[in-house]
């Protein structure tokens, strides 16, 4: 869907300067050895492993396909349901909220529009593009207990997944990899070797689901395709399958998928995508199109090898195929060079090159010389976090689950979490991977301005949970969750510190100005001239309060940075910004430590769970003169001892690591990175499971992975709140690691 492709924003962000006392490495790190120490090896049939290129991800189970579970996800695959019956677009708020006027509390959803609540909350949403699985030749599904002697690996150095298992007494070997993303085209190459292929006993089924959020265990509705009725028409949800032979006499099919839906003009429109299915090394092979529901590949020749290339095209298909296209071999054919690029060997080479280039760029960390026996597990988390996050680094910010699964928020992304998802790329010297997703601020700016205006505020009020259309999802705390607001100023500042040019200043000028305008206008002024953040839902989301600790600290830092931005542009400081910054309410504390808010002085007695905002003010937030360092240290020590860490989320532990490193407590930094808690679990693939999975569900939580990488960068090279422009290099000392750790690093940049 090319209308969704983000304009490239030439953005190179972050941070500068190597740790001043770091000794230079005598030799470059052996990056391949570091990565290949952590090849993913498992015999778990149900463990999903991702093969992807950033914009597209094919998640495989133990069979190398999606025989028992696994979704095909992308940054371009968004879908919207038709509106509820008897509703029109005049009934839908373009901002996602019906509140008007300045906030006095939460954001209640109007009772007379309750039928729209779920629609606005879940649309547009991420969708599963296909299911690819093994079947028996007679159409029977395989059973898990029929799979024996399973061995599987996913090599992060090459991006290739290999599976080997026994079925009916015969060995089946499957290799799977994904090409680069080129204009929203991605090819999944699959190579299957088995006597069961030669005998025709094993088939491969490709099915396209209706885009529901049902997971059983694949996401989507795999039942019959029924027309979905809109207020004025029936919208067919269908796909057509056309089969051909190419110029070499090899077979291929084109799956033409159309999703016709009524959506807001110029936002999504009718969404279509296509899957080209090429078959190689099969001998004769038959396609079975069962009433346009399934494409089943049944080899009928003597070859024991079946190669399948599935090319997913996320762009609008140029024209419809004719009705008799099944008999026209030339339709939708490609050049010989393009055809050769679909072969498994070609895709494998492309995958190997992509991943090799990734691993040889940016930062690297070697912990193998450490005496602490936990070094291997921490290094595994570091390596595999880079692999997982690169797999999901595409055109839009990630959802909490990236492209590994559709998260509980319908695959939508959260602007309060964009910092966790993206900031590590600059610390690891890979800022180019954040260029496209960070441009979300420019893409949704009109919606952010409309939201501020609707609520009688100045500037741009950044949304919370959104899809590419910029409409925020309804939630009672949506509008008062303030910590998302200063994030773009943090990104702009780190960009400038790496690229201190006029071009950088002008690029971010409007975003910084409109962000700070809202920040200065939001607080209320009392009779004593004190500005209060009221109402506010703190990052811990324990309810509404007033003058919460984290936002008071972040507000001060960001307003200072915004006025510094004006000075760099040769403009005068904004007096209204300075007035608010100087007269904000003091940071709340009790008994010599910081607490959540002035209204929640019982923080350590009754509210010591969820996100530990108390340590974020000298961790995620760069230090300001409003935060006392000694009080911050005492707070950190008490939080580490008394917090209910089993009721936290995956990114809370990196927060502890960052604060420990900043406040010269490396013992607490390493405790944050490796604390043995249910929310700080990293599975066999290196995926953090500290999100909804820690509360009874099961699924990936990438803010934990991203937060860990940012923390590790700071633990290696230190943090830098003042200097500008110094290049990072390498070293074998690391101020954020305690005794017993031998840390070698290179290519990192000091975080802000």
* Residues 599-651: tens digit of each pLDDT: 999 999 999 999 999 999 999 999 999 999 999 999 999 999 999 999 999 99
* Residue 308: strand pairing partners: 190, 279
CB atoms within 10 A of CB 158: 21
pLDDT reading at 722 higher than 70 = no
What's the domain range around 256? 42-83+111-315
Candidate from 271-280, 583-592, 679-688, 741-750 with smallest mean pLDDT: 271-280
CB 726 within 8 A of CB 16: yes
In a domain, 709, yes or no: no
Distance between CA atoms of 499 and 704, rounded to whole angstroms? 28
Looking at residue 594, what is its pLDDT?
A: 98
Mean pLDDT of 545-553: 98
**How many H helices and E strands in the chain?**
20, 31
Q: Is residue 143 part of a domain?
A: yes
74 inside domain: yes
State how far the Cα of 554 lies from the Cα of 485, in Å rounded to an integer. Answer: 9
pLDDT band at residue 227 using 50, 70 and 90 as cut-offs: very low
* Predicted pLDDT of residue 284: 64
If pLDDT is split at 50, 70 and 90, which confidence band does 322 have?
Answer: very low
Summarize pLDDT for 136-153 with one digit per residue, the tens.
Answer: 988 899 999 999 999 999
pLDDT, position 509: 98
According to DSSP, the residues that pair with 21 across neighbouring strands are none
Q: Which two tokens stand for residue 127?
A: 């969708």
Q: Is the dihedral of CA 235, 239, 242, 246 positive or negative?
A: positive
Q: Is the pLDDT of residue 369 over 90?
A: yes
pLDDT score of 232 more than 80 = no
For every residue of 126-179, which 3-state class applies, written as one string?
ECCCCEEEEEECCCCECCHHHCEEEEEEEECCCCEEEEEEEECCEEEEEEEEEC
Share of the chain above pLDDT 90, in %: 72
**The domain that contains 59 carries what CATH number?**
2.70.98
Pick the range with the lowest mean pLDDT from 273-287, 382-396, 542-556, 687-701.
687-701
User: Which of the four pLDDT bands, split at 50, 70 and 90, describes residue 269?
Assistant: very low
Q: How many domains does the chain have?
A: 1
User: At 81, is the pLDDT very low, low, confident or very high (cuts 50, 70, 90)?
Assistant: confident
pLDDT, position 166: 98
Residue 278 in domain? yes
pLDDT (average), residues 552-561: 98
Among the listed ranges 84-93, 299-308, 500-509, which one has the minimum average pLDDT value?
A: 299-308
**Distance (Å, rounded) from C-alpha 661 to C-alpha 615?**
12
- What digits encode the pLDDT tens for the residues 382-416? 999 999 999 999 999 999 999 999 999 999 999 99
> What token pair was written down for 621?
């937030």
State the residue for tokens 């094993």: 202
Name the pLDDT band for 444 (thresholds 50, 70, 90).
very high
> Dihedrals φ, ψ of 551, to 5°?
-70, -35
> Which pLDDT does position 22 carry in this prediction?
44
Work out the pLDDT band at 438, boundaries 50, 70, 90.
Answer: very high
Give whole-number Cα distances, 552 to 104, 486, 531, 583, in Å.
18, 11, 10, 11
Q: What is the rounded CA–CA span in Å between residue 224 and residue 423?
A: 44
pLDDT at 320: 46
Residue 230 counted as domain residue: yes
Coil, helix or strand at residue 565:
helix
SS3 309: strand
Q: Does residue 234 sit within a domain?
A: yes
Q: Given this model, what pLDDT does residue 732 score? A: 75
For residue 466, pLDDT over 60 is answered with yes
Token pair for 603: 């923080």
Task: Give residue 156's pLDDT.
Answer: 98
User: What pLDDT score does 691 carry?
Assistant: 86
In this prediction, residues 503-521 reach a mean pLDDT of 98
The verdict on residue 148 lying in a domain is yes
In which band, very low, low, confident or very high, does the pLDDT at 324 lie, cut at 50, 70 and 90?
A: very low
pTM metric for this prediction: 0.93
pLDDT at 299: 82
Stretch among 292-306, 478-492, 548-562 having the lowest mean pLDDT: 292-306
Write the CA distances from 507 to 432, 500, 567, 569, 613, integer angstroms.
Answer: 16, 12, 15, 11, 31
Residue 21 reports pLDDT greater than 60:
no
Does 248 or 238 have the greater pLDDT score? 248
Tokens (6 digits) for 417: 């979490």
Q: Which two tokens stand for residue 299?
A: 């080899």
pLDDT of residue 16: 31
Does residue 285 belong to any structural domain of this protein? yes
311 HSE (CA, 13 A, CB side): 26
The confidence band for 460, taking pLDDT boundaries of 50, 70 and 90, is very high
Contact 633, 661 (CB under 8 A): no
CA distances from 703 to 418, 468, 641, 651, 680 (A): 9, 20, 23, 6, 11
pLDDT value for 244: 75
Sequence-distant (6+) residues with CB within 8 A of 349 are: none
Average pLDDT, stretch 334-339? 82
């Amino acid at each position: 869907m090319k209308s969704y492709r983000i304009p490239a924003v030439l953005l190179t962000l972050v941070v500068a300067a190597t740790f001043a006392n770091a000794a230079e490495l005598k030799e470059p790190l052996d990056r391949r050895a570091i990565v290949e120490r952590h090849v993913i090896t498992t015999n778990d049939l149900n463990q999903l492993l991702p093969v992807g290129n950033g914009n597209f991800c094919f998640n495989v189970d133990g069979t190398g396909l999606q025989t028992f579970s696994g979704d095909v996800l992308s940054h371009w695959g968004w879908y919207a349901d038709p509106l509820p019956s008897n509703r029109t677009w005049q009934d839908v708020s373009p901002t996602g909220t019906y509140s008007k006027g300045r906030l006095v509390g939460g954001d209640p959803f109007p009772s007379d529009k309750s039928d729209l609540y779920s629609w606005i909350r879940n649309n547009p949403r991420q969708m599963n593009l296909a299911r690819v699985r093994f079947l028996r030749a007679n159409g029977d599904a395989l059973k898990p207990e029929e799979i024996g002697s399973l061995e599987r690996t996913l090599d992060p150095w090459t991006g290739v997944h290999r599976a080997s298992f026994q079925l009916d007494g015969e060995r089946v070997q499957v290799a799977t990899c994904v090409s680069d993303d080129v204009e929203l085209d991605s090819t999944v190459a699959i190579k299957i070797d088995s006597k069961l292929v030669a005998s025709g006993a094993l088939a491969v089924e490709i099915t396209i689901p209706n885009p529901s959020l049902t997971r059983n265990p694949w996401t989507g509705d795999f039942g019959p395709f029924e027309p979905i009725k809109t207020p004025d028409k029936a919208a067919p949800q269908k796909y057509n399958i056309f089969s051909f032979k190419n110029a070499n006499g090899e077979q291929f099919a084109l799956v033409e998928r159309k999703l016709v839906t009524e959506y807001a003009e110029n936002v999504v429109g009718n969404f279509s995508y296509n899957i080209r299915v090429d078959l190689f090394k099969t001998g004769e092979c038959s396609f079975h199109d069962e009433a346009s529901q399934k494409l089943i590949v049944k080899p009928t020749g003597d070859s024991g090898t079946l190669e399948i290339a599935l090319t997913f095209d996320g762009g609008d298909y140029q024209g419809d195929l004719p009705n008799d296209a099944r008999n026209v071999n030339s339709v939708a054919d490609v050049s010989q060079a393009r055809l050769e690029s679909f072969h498994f060997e070609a895709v494998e080479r492309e995958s190997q090159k992509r991943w090799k280039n990734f691993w040889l760029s940016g930062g690297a960390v070697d912990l193998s010389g450490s005496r602490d026996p936990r070094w291997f597990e921490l290094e595994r988390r570091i390596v595999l976090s880079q692999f997982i996050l690169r797999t999901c680094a595409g055109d839009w910010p990630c959802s909490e689950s990236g492209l590994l699964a559709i998260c509980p928020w319908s695959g939508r992304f959260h602007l309060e979490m964009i910092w966790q998802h993206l900031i590590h790329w600059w610390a690891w010297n890979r800022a180019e991977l954040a260029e496209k997703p960070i441009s979300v601020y420019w893409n949704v700016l009109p919606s952010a301005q409309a939201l501020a205006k609707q609520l009688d505020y100045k500037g741009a009020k950044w949304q919370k949970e959104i899809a590419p259309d910029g409409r925020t999802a309804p939630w009672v705390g949506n509008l008062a969750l303030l910590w998302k607001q200063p994030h773009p100023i943090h990104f702009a500042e780190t960009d400038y510190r790496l690229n201190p040019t006029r071009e950088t200043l002008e690029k971010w000028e409007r975003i910084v100005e409109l962000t700070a305008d809202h920040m200065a206008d939001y607080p209320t002024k009392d009779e004593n001239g004190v500005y209060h953040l009221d109402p506010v839902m703190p990052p811990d989301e324990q309810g509404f309060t007033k003058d919460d600790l984290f936002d008071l600290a972040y507000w001060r830092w960001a307003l200072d940075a915004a006025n510094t931005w004006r000075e760099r542009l040769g403009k005068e400081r904004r007096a209204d910004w300075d007035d608010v910054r100087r007269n904000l309410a003091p940071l709340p504390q009790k008994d010599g430590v910081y607490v959540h808010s002035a209204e929640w002085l019982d923080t350590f007695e009754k509210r010591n769970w969820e996100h530990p905002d108390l340590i974020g003010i000298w961790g995620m937030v760069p230090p300001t003169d409003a935060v006392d360092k000694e009080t911050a240290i005492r707070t950190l020590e008490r939080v580490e001892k008394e917090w209910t860490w089993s009721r936290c989320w995956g990114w809370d532990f990196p927060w502890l690591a960052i604060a420990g490193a900043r406040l010269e407590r490396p013992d607490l930094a390493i405790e944050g990175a490796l604390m043995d808690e249910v929310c700080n679990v990293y599975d066999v693939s290196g995926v953090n499971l500290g999100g909804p999975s820690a509360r009874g569900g099961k699924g990936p939580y990438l803010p934990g992975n991203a937060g860990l990488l940012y923390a590790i960068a700071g633990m290696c090279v230190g943090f830098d709140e003042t200097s500008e422009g110094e290049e990072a290099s390498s070293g074998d000392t690391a101020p954020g690691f305690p005794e017993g750790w031998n840390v070698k690093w290179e290519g990192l940049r000091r975080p802000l």
